[in-house]
Structure 1
Amino acid sequence: MDIAEVAKRSGVPASTLRFYEEKGLISSIGRQGLRRVFNDSILERLALIALGRAEGFSLDEIARMIGSKGNPNIDRELLVSKADELDRTIHELVAMRDGLRHAAICSAPSHMECPKFRRLLGLAQSGAIRSKNTGKLPQKRR
């Protein structure tokens, strides 16, 4: 199946397929003119990549787990580690959600007079609250 058909059937853009091939995540079996040709098993491999990405694994981690020969060798310890990381993230997100809900209904005259909000400020100042994207304190938008 050529790259256009793989892109159509998988929903993965051809540019991403070429990138995945450069990274060693997938490999073509040849060319038909200028177009790359892939084995039918490419769709399952792309599904494995999509699953790994959805679960938060890096492309390098996914490459190690799915191997180059098409026989996945999934690292169970890495799965447990990722699950633990997700548990920590869930805990942090629940705490943030609860803090936002409290701030929305807090009866204190101002948020600066709310003990719970003041505790959150202290956590942010100490660095205990970090931005999810960078691991750094969130920056002000300009």
Structure 2
Amino acid sequence: MTLDIGEVARRSGLSAATLRFYEEKGLIASVGRAGLRRLFATEVLERLALVGLGRAAGFSLDEIAGMFAPDGQPHIDRHALRDKADELDRRIATLTRMRDGLRHAAACSAADHMQCPTFLRLLGLAAGRKLKAPARS
């Protein structure tokens, strides 16, 4: 069974332009045309779900394209998955520290946030370095 590009767009939630771009990138392939409309095998929906999962995990389109064998079947590098999971763990830890710092800053009793060591650590985290509270006079 085949689906035209409009039906694939409707079922996948992606625009026709995105589908054409994915086809140009080699992520999906049409199986023919009906007039001017591209036709896709129904399996394209599963492939698009894999692409969406990869995007949600933070993989680039080129990285995702490399996870498909020449015959179009998924060939997912487990090492790449472990590396991405480790990267996500680092991002989660950073975001957790930022969230906790923002909660502290919202409730901080310091008259000036720039005098609060916790807030300064949050700024340092955002800037990628450690900041120290200014010396009090």
Asked whether the two chains share a fold, i.e. TM above 0.5, the reply is: yes
Could you list the runs of 5+ residues in structure 1 that have no partner in the other structure?
A: 130-142
Identity %: 67
Q: C-alpha offsets along residues 18-61 of structure 1, whole Å, 9 cap, x if unaligned? A: 00000000111111111111111111111111111111111001
Whether the 8 Å contact between 1:66 and 1:72 is mirrored in structure 2 is: yes
> Which of structure 1's runs of 4+ aligned residues deviate more than 3 A?
118-125
1:62 aligned to 2:64?
yes
Write the distance in 2 (CA, Å) between the matches of 1:41 and 1:122.
48
Partner of 1:97: 99
Q: C-alpha offsets along residues 55-101 of structure 1, whole Å, 9 cap, x if unaligned? A: 11110011011234221000101000000000000110011111111
Write the distance in 2 (CA, Å) between the matches of 1:48 and 1:4.
20
Partner of 2:134: none
> So what's the TM-score if we normalise by structure 1?
0.82
Q: C-alpha offsets along residues 97-142 of structure 1, whole Å, 9 cap, x if unaligned? A: 11111111111222122222234445556x338xxxxxxxxxxxxx
Give, as a single letter, the amino acid of the residue that structure 1 aligns with 2:43. S
> So what's the TM-score if we normalise by structure 2?
0.85
Write the distance in 2 (CA, Å) between the matches of 1:12 and 1:122.
38
User: Number of residues paired by the alignment?
Assistant: 128
Task: Quickly say closer, same or farther: Cα 1:84–1:111, change in 2 above 3 A.
Answer: same
Whether the 8 Å contact between 1:4 and 1:14 is mirrored in structure 2 is: yes
Could you list the runs of 5+ residues in structure 2 that have no partner in the other structure?
A: 131-137
Matches within 5 A, 1:120-131: 120-122=122-124, 127-128=128-129
Partner of 1:140: none
